[in-house]
Amino acid sequence: MVETAQQDNLSLAAIQAGDRAEFARLVDLYSAPIYRLALRILGEPRDAEDVLQETFIKAYRHLKDFEGRSSISTWLYRIASNEAFMALRKRKPEAVSVDEEISTVDGEREPVQIEDWCCLPEAEFLSAESREHLDLAVGNLSPALKMVFMLRDIEGLSVRETAESLHISEAAVKTRLLRARLQLREELSQYYGERLKEVKQA
Amino acid sequence: MTEHHHDERATCRELLKSLSDFIDGNLDESLCVEIEKHMAECDRCQVVVDTLRKTVELYQNIYPAPPVPDEVRQRLFVRLNLDDFLSRRQPEH
Ligand SMILES: [Zn+2]
Protein backbone atom coordinates (compact mmCIF):
# COMPACT_ATOMS: atom_id res chain seq x y z
CA MET A 1 0.00 0.00 0.00
CA VAL A 2 1.25 3.45 -0.81
CA GLU A 3 1.81 5.71 2.15
CA THR A 4 -0.03 9.01 2.21
CA ALA A 5 3.19 10.83 2.96
CA GLN A 6 4.70 9.51 -0.25
CA GLN A 7 1.64 10.56 -2.19
CA ASP A 8 1.73 14.03 -0.71
CA ASN A 9 5.37 14.32 -1.57
CA LEU A 10 4.62 13.86 -5.20
CA SER A 11 4.17 17.08 -7.11
CA LEU A 12 1.35 16.72 -9.57
CA ALA A 13 2.04 20.21 -10.88
CA ALA A 14 5.63 19.27 -11.65
CA ILE A 15 4.55 16.10 -13.43
CA GLN A 16 2.00 18.01 -15.47
CA ALA A 17 4.63 20.61 -16.33
CA GLY A 18 6.72 17.81 -17.83
CA ASP A 19 9.14 17.07 -14.99
CA ARG A 20 10.38 13.62 -16.04
CA ALA A 21 12.14 12.84 -12.79
CA GLU A 22 8.89 13.39 -10.94
CA PHE A 23 7.03 11.20 -13.42
CA ALA A 24 9.64 8.49 -12.87
CA ARG A 25 8.92 8.76 -9.17
CA LEU A 26 5.21 8.33 -9.81
CA VAL A 27 5.96 5.24 -11.90
CA ASP A 28 8.06 3.71 -9.14
CA LEU A 29 5.45 4.49 -6.50
CA TYR A 30 2.59 2.79 -8.29
CA SER A 31 4.23 0.09 -10.38
CA ALA A 32 4.05 -2.54 -7.67
CA PRO A 33 0.32 -2.30 -6.84
CA ILE A 34 -0.62 -2.00 -10.52
CA TYR A 35 1.53 -4.95 -11.50
CA ARG A 36 0.10 -7.02 -8.64
CA LEU A 37 -3.44 -6.15 -9.61
CA ALA A 38 -2.89 -7.05 -13.25
CA LEU A 39 -1.08 -10.25 -12.36
CA ARG A 40 -3.94 -11.43 -10.13
CA ILE A 41 -6.57 -10.57 -12.68
CA LEU A 42 -4.79 -11.99 -15.71
CA GLY A 43 -2.60 -14.68 -14.20
CA GLU A 44 0.16 -14.27 -16.78
CA PRO A 45 3.28 -12.20 -16.07
CA ARG A 46 3.52 -11.15 -19.73
CA ASP A 47 -0.06 -9.87 -19.76
CA ALA A 48 0.48 -8.11 -16.45
CA GLU A 49 3.52 -6.38 -17.87
CA ASP A 50 1.54 -5.19 -20.90
CA VAL A 51 -1.10 -3.74 -18.60
CA LEU A 52 1.57 -2.05 -16.52
CA GLN A 53 3.13 -0.43 -19.58
CA GLU A 54 -0.16 0.59 -21.15
CA THR A 55 -1.34 2.12 -17.89
CA PHE A 56 1.61 4.47 -17.61
CA ILE A 57 1.65 5.27 -21.32
CA LYS A 58 -2.00 6.32 -21.10
CA ALA A 59 -1.42 8.12 -17.84
CA TYR A 60 1.43 10.09 -19.41
CA ARG A 61 -0.66 10.95 -22.43
CA HIS A 62 -3.62 12.14 -20.37
CA LEU A 63 -1.84 13.76 -17.47
CA LYS A 64 -2.76 17.20 -18.72
CA ASP A 65 -6.45 16.31 -18.51
CA PHE A 66 -6.20 15.05 -14.96
CA GLU A 67 -8.05 17.60 -12.88
CA GLY A 68 -7.34 16.23 -9.47
CA ARG A 69 -10.97 15.56 -8.63
CA SER A 70 -9.97 12.10 -7.51
CA SER A 71 -6.57 11.23 -6.10
CA ILE A 72 -3.86 10.35 -8.58
CA SER A 73 -3.79 6.78 -7.25
CA THR A 74 -7.51 6.33 -7.89
CA TRP A 75 -7.03 7.72 -11.37
CA LEU A 76 -4.18 5.30 -12.08
CA TYR A 77 -6.12 2.34 -10.72
CA ARG A 78 -8.99 3.29 -12.98
CA ILE A 79 -6.77 3.22 -16.05
CA ALA A 80 -5.13 -0.01 -14.89
CA SER A 81 -8.40 -1.83 -14.17
CA ASN A 82 -9.75 -0.79 -17.57
CA GLU A 83 -6.63 -2.11 -19.25
CA ALA A 84 -6.78 -5.36 -17.29
CA PHE A 85 -10.45 -5.93 -18.12
CA MET A 86 -9.78 -5.13 -21.76
CA ALA A 87 -6.94 -7.63 -21.88
CA LEU A 88 -9.16 -10.21 -20.25
CA ARG A 89 -11.91 -9.64 -22.77
CA LYS A 90 -9.44 -9.97 -25.62
CA ARG A 91 -8.14 -13.23 -24.24
CA LYS A 92 -11.37 -14.83 -23.14
CA PRO A 93 -14.25 -13.26 -25.04
CA GLU A 94 -16.44 -16.19 -24.00
CA ALA A 95 -15.97 -15.38 -20.32
CA VAL A 96 -18.87 -13.76 -18.55
CA SER A 97 -18.78 -10.02 -18.81
CA VAL A 98 -16.22 -8.65 -16.41
CA ASP A 99 -18.40 -5.76 -15.43
CA GLU A 100 -21.17 -8.28 -14.89
CA GLU A 101 -24.24 -7.06 -13.11
CA ILE A 102 -23.92 -8.56 -9.65
CA SER A 103 -27.39 -9.50 -8.55
CA THR A 104 -28.46 -8.25 -5.17
CA VAL A 105 -31.87 -9.84 -5.39
CA ASP A 106 -31.10 -13.40 -4.35
CA GLY A 107 -28.93 -12.25 -1.47
CA GLU A 108 -25.89 -14.14 -0.27
CA ARG A 109 -25.46 -17.88 -0.34
CA GLU A 110 -25.78 -19.35 3.08
CA PRO A 111 -22.44 -20.32 4.65
CA VAL A 112 -21.75 -24.04 4.26
CA GLN A 113 -18.45 -24.52 6.06
CA ILE A 114 -18.94 -24.04 9.77
CA GLU A 115 -15.64 -24.96 11.28
CA ASP A 116 -13.82 -22.73 13.72
CA TRP A 117 -10.25 -22.88 12.46
CA CYS A 118 -9.17 -19.53 13.88
CA CYS A 119 -7.37 -21.26 16.76
CA LEU A 120 -4.91 -23.09 14.51
CA PRO A 121 -1.28 -22.54 15.51
CA GLU A 122 0.16 -19.47 13.79
CA ALA A 123 2.76 -21.57 11.96
CA GLU A 124 -0.09 -23.26 10.06
CA PHE A 125 -1.06 -19.95 8.48
CA LEU A 126 2.50 -19.07 7.56
CA SER A 127 3.35 -22.31 5.75
CA ALA A 128 4.03 -22.28 2.03
CA GLU A 129 1.05 -24.56 1.52
CA SER A 130 -1.21 -22.16 3.36
CA ARG A 131 -0.06 -19.23 1.24
CA GLU A 132 -0.65 -21.29 -1.85
CA HIS A 133 -4.23 -21.85 -0.77
CA LEU A 134 -4.75 -18.14 -0.24
CA ASP A 135 -3.63 -17.67 -3.82
CA LEU A 136 -5.81 -20.47 -5.20
CA ALA A 137 -8.89 -19.10 -3.48
CA VAL A 138 -8.37 -15.64 -4.96
CA GLY A 139 -7.85 -17.26 -8.35
CA ASN A 140 -11.33 -18.74 -8.14
CA LEU A 141 -13.06 -15.38 -7.73
CA SER A 142 -14.74 -13.94 -10.81
CA PRO A 143 -12.82 -10.99 -12.28
CA ALA A 144 -15.36 -8.46 -11.01
CA LEU A 145 -15.21 -9.78 -7.45
CA LYS A 146 -11.45 -10.19 -7.58
CA MET A 147 -10.88 -6.61 -8.65
CA VAL A 148 -12.94 -5.20 -5.78
CA PHE A 149 -11.30 -7.52 -3.28
CA MET A 150 -7.78 -6.65 -4.49
CA LEU A 151 -8.32 -2.90 -4.35
CA ARG A 152 -10.13 -2.87 -1.03
CA ASP A 153 -8.53 -5.64 1.04
CA ILE A 154 -5.10 -6.03 -0.54
CA GLU A 155 -4.26 -2.49 -1.62
CA GLY A 156 -6.20 -0.93 1.22
CA LEU A 157 -8.35 1.53 -0.73
CA SER A 158 -11.48 2.83 0.97
CA VAL A 159 -14.92 1.81 -0.29
CA ARG A 160 -15.22 5.20 -1.93
CA GLU A 161 -11.83 5.04 -3.62
CA THR A 162 -12.58 1.54 -4.86
CA ALA A 163 -15.89 2.74 -6.29
CA GLU A 164 -14.18 5.65 -8.05
CA SER A 165 -11.42 3.42 -9.40
CA LEU A 166 -13.87 0.99 -10.93
CA HIS A 167 -16.59 3.44 -11.91
CA ILE A 168 -19.22 1.59 -9.93
CA SER A 169 -21.40 2.64 -7.00
CA GLU A 170 -20.31 2.29 -3.39
CA ALA A 171 -23.23 -0.07 -2.87
CA ALA A 172 -21.87 -2.28 -5.66
CA VAL A 173 -18.43 -2.25 -4.05
CA LYS A 174 -19.93 -3.38 -0.76
CA THR A 175 -21.98 -6.15 -2.34
CA ARG A 176 -19.02 -7.47 -4.32
CA LEU A 177 -16.67 -7.21 -1.40
CA LEU A 178 -19.00 -9.18 0.85
CA ARG A 179 -19.51 -11.81 -1.81
CA ALA A 180 -15.78 -12.10 -2.45
CA ARG A 181 -14.96 -12.38 1.24
CA LEU A 182 -17.67 -14.99 1.85
CA GLN A 183 -16.45 -17.09 -1.07
CA LEU A 184 -12.87 -16.88 0.17
CA ARG A 185 -14.02 -17.83 3.66
CA GLU A 186 -15.73 -20.94 2.31
CA GLU A 187 -12.63 -22.05 0.45
CA LEU A 188 -10.22 -21.31 3.26
CA SER A 189 -12.54 -23.09 5.70
CA GLN A 190 -12.29 -26.22 3.62
CA TYR A 191 -8.51 -26.17 3.74
CA TYR A 192 -7.96 -24.97 7.30
CA GLY A 193 -10.79 -27.18 8.54
CA GLU A 194 -8.86 -30.18 7.26
CA ARG A 195 -5.68 -28.86 8.87
CA LEU A 196 -7.56 -28.51 12.13
CA LYS A 197 -8.58 -32.17 12.08
CA GLU A 198 -5.01 -33.24 11.41
CA VAL A 199 -3.57 -31.04 14.13
CA LYS A 200 -6.11 -32.40 16.61
CA GLN A 201 -5.28 -35.99 15.69
CA ALA A 202 -1.55 -35.46 16.00
CA MET B 1 -38.27 -27.92 11.35
CA THR B 2 -39.78 -25.96 14.22
CA GLU B 3 -41.09 -22.45 13.70
CA HIS B 4 -38.52 -21.18 16.15
CA HIS B 5 -35.64 -22.72 14.24
CA HIS B 6 -36.97 -21.27 11.01
CA ASP B 7 -37.06 -17.75 12.47
CA GLU B 8 -33.53 -18.07 13.70
CA ARG B 9 -32.22 -19.03 10.30
CA ALA B 10 -34.00 -16.03 8.83
CA THR B 11 -32.08 -13.84 11.26
CA CYS B 12 -28.81 -15.50 10.26
CA ARG B 13 -29.56 -14.81 6.61
CA GLU B 14 -30.52 -11.24 7.34
CA LEU B 15 -27.35 -10.58 9.30
CA LEU B 16 -25.16 -12.08 6.61
CA LYS B 17 -25.66 -8.94 4.53
CA SER B 18 -24.08 -6.77 7.18
CA LEU B 19 -21.10 -8.92 8.11
CA SER B 20 -18.59 -7.19 5.85
CA ASP B 21 -19.45 -3.80 7.33
CA PHE B 22 -19.52 -5.35 10.76
CA ILE B 23 -15.97 -6.68 10.65
CA ASP B 24 -14.76 -3.41 9.10
CA GLY B 25 -16.35 -1.48 11.95
CA ASN B 26 -18.55 0.47 9.53
CA LEU B 27 -21.89 -0.44 11.02
CA ASP B 28 -24.37 1.58 13.07
CA GLU B 29 -24.10 1.01 16.77
CA SER B 30 -27.62 -0.42 16.96
CA LEU B 31 -26.96 -3.01 14.26
CA CYS B 32 -23.69 -4.00 15.93
CA VAL B 33 -25.51 -4.62 19.16
CA GLU B 34 -28.07 -6.69 17.31
CA ILE B 35 -25.38 -8.82 15.66
CA GLU B 36 -23.48 -9.30 18.90
CA LYS B 37 -26.66 -10.32 20.67
CA HIS B 38 -27.47 -12.82 17.95
CA MET B 39 -23.95 -14.24 17.95
CA ALA B 40 -24.12 -14.86 21.67
CA GLU B 41 -27.00 -17.24 20.98
CA CYS B 42 -25.97 -18.59 17.59
CA ASP B 43 -22.72 -20.55 17.37
CA ARG B 44 -23.04 -20.79 13.62
CA CYS B 45 -22.94 -17.05 13.08
CA GLN B 46 -20.22 -16.66 15.68
CA VAL B 47 -18.02 -19.06 13.71
CA VAL B 48 -18.87 -17.39 10.40
CA VAL B 49 -17.94 -13.96 11.76
CA ASP B 50 -14.72 -15.19 13.37
CA THR B 51 -13.55 -17.06 10.29
CA LEU B 52 -14.58 -14.22 7.98
CA ARG B 53 -12.56 -11.79 10.05
CA LYS B 54 -9.63 -14.20 10.08
CA THR B 55 -9.88 -14.64 6.31
CA VAL B 56 -9.57 -10.90 5.69
CA GLU B 57 -6.80 -10.64 8.26
CA LEU B 58 -4.80 -13.40 6.57
CA TYR B 59 -5.04 -11.69 3.22
CA GLN B 60 -4.04 -8.37 4.69
CA ASN B 61 -1.08 -9.77 6.60
CA ILE B 62 0.42 -12.83 4.99
CA TYR B 63 -0.74 -12.81 1.40
CA PRO B 64 2.39 -12.72 -0.74
CA ALA B 65 2.84 -9.43 -2.58
CA PRO B 66 5.04 -10.08 -5.59
CA PRO B 67 7.41 -7.19 -6.30
CA VAL B 68 7.92 -5.87 -9.80
CA PRO B 69 10.78 -7.95 -11.24
CA ASP B 70 13.84 -5.86 -12.09
CA GLU B 71 13.68 -6.62 -15.78
CA VAL B 72 10.00 -5.66 -15.89
CA ARG B 73 10.82 -2.30 -14.32
CA GLN B 74 13.68 -1.87 -16.73
CA ARG B 75 11.51 -2.53 -19.80
CA LEU B 76 8.84 -0.21 -18.41
CA PHE B 77 11.29 2.66 -17.99
CA VAL B 78 12.69 2.13 -21.48
CA ARG B 79 9.19 2.08 -22.95
CA LEU B 80 8.41 5.35 -21.17
CA ASN B 81 11.69 6.95 -22.24
CA LEU B 82 12.71 7.21 -18.63
CA ASP B 83 15.85 5.08 -18.90
CA ASP B 84 18.00 7.87 -17.47
CA PHE B 85 16.13 7.44 -14.15
CA LEU B 86 16.55 3.68 -13.97
CA SER B 87 19.42 3.75 -11.53
CA ARG B 88 17.33 5.25 -8.77
CA ARG B 89 16.29 2.70 -6.25
CA GLN B 90 12.79 1.35 -6.28
CA PRO B 91 10.85 2.23 -3.13
CA GLU B 92 9.77 -0.63 -0.91
CA HIS B 93 6.10 -1.42 -0.57
ZN1 LIG C 1 -27.16 -17.07 13.34
Q: Give one DSSP letter per residue of A92-155, joined into a string.
A: -TTSPPTT-PPP-SS-PPPP------TTS-HHHHHSHHHHHHHHHHHHTS-HHHHHHHIIIIIS
Q: What band does B89 get if pLDDT is binned at 50, 70 and 90?
A: low
Torsion of CA B3, B5, B11, B15, to 10 degrees: -160
B76:A60 CB<8 A: no
Q: Which of B55, B82, B85 sits opposite A185 (nearest CB)?
A: B55
Check pLDDT > 80 for residue A103. Answer: no
pLDDT in tens, B29-82: 999 999 999 999 999 999 999 999 999 999 999 987 888 999 999 999 999 999
How far, in Å, CA of A48 to CA of A43, rounded?
Answer: 8
Q: Would you say residue B8 lies in a domain?
A: yes
Query: What are the start and end residues of each CATH 1.10.10.10 domain in chain A?
Result: 122-201
Domain presence at residue B78: no
In a domain, B87, yes or no: no
In a domain, B84, yes or no: no
Q: Is B57 among the domain residues? A: yes
Architecture of domain A4-91: Orthogonal Bundle (1.10)
Q: Tell me what the mean pLDDT of segment A28-47 comes to.
A: 95
In a domain, B44, yes or no: yes
pLDDT at residue A3, rounded to an integer: 42
B93 — contact with chain A (CB < 8 Å)? yes
Tell me what the mean pLDDT of segment A186-191 comes to: 97
Instruction: Spell out which residues have Cβ within 5 A of ligand 1, the ion.
Output: B 12, 42, 45
- Domain of B21? 3-65
CATH 1.10.1740.10 in chain A, residue ranges: 4-91
Give me the pLDDT at residue B3, please: 46
Question: What CATH number matches the domain at A122-201, 1.20.120.340, 3.40.50.1820, 1.10.10.10, 3.40.50.720?
Answer: 1.10.10.10
**Cβ–Cβ < 8 Å for A163, A172:** yes
Q: Looking at the complex, does the CB of residue B5 fall below 8 Å from at least one CB of chain A?
A: no
Question: Within 13 A of B80's CA, how many CA atoms are on the CB side?
Answer: 31
Q: What angle do CA A184, B13, A151 make, to 5 degrees?
A: 35
**Whole-angstrom distance between the N-terminal and C-terminal Cα of chain B?**
53
Q: Give the residue among A139, A129, A162, A134 at the shortest CA–CA distance from B63.
A: A134
The alpha-carbon gap from A164 to the nearest alpha carbon of chain B, in Å, equals: 19
pTM score, whole prediction: 0.89
| Nearest chain B alpha carbon to A152 | B60
Q: Is residue B35 part of a domain?
A: yes
Q: How confident is the model at residue A11 (pLDDT cuts 50, 70, 90)?
A: confident
- The predicted-structure confidence for A16-26, as pLDDT tens digits, reads as follows 999 999 999 99
Contacts of A24 in chain B (CB under 8 A): 77, 82, 85, 88
pLDDT tens column, A123-164: 999 999 999 999 999 999 999 999 999 999 999 999 999 999
Closest CA to A102 of A176, A165, A164: A176
ipTM confidence:
0.88
Q: Could you give the number of structural domains in chain B?
A: 1
